[in-house]
Amino acid sequence: MKVRREHHCTKNHRTGFAMARCVWGTRADIKGRGQYAVVHWLKIGWSSSYPDVYLFDDEVRARAKLRQMSDPFYCGGSCRNAGARHELIRFELGAK
Ligand SMILES: [Zn+2]
Ligand SMILES: [Zn+2]
């Protein structure tokens, strides 16, 4: 699993959601909450690809999601490189 500390500002984000917004910007489609992020990149129609992010506060559930997404049919054709570009990332969230 990747651990991600770097992001685009100097704030210490306290939620995975704020961190994900900072890392991937407003184009990201972010669901759920927590510090474990399962990410893949979608491209729908002629849109440029954008990150599709599921957040979990529990590593076991995050891994289960990642496994579910590794099914080649899960993402369909809209996912760039289905499976291979799915990532599980743990955010290092700032201390209060
Ligand atoms: Zn930031
Ligand atoms: Zn995918």
CB 35 within 8 A of CB 53: no
Q: Specify the pLDDT at position 71.
A: 77
The span from the CA of 75 to the CA of 6, in Å, is 28
DSSP helix/strand/coil, 67 = helix
pLDDT at residue 61, as a whole number: 97
Q: What is the pTM of this model?
A: 0.86
For the chain, what is the domain count?
Answer: 1
Domain range for residue 84?
A: 2-91
pLDDT score at 82: 54
Distance 7 CA to ligand 1 centre (A): 5
Helix boundaries (H) for the chain = 16-24, 59-69
Decide if 96 is inside a domain: no
Q: What is the mean pLDDT of residues 56-72?
A: 91
CA of 86 to the centre of ligand 2 (A): 6
CA 92 to ligand 2 center in whole angstroms: 24
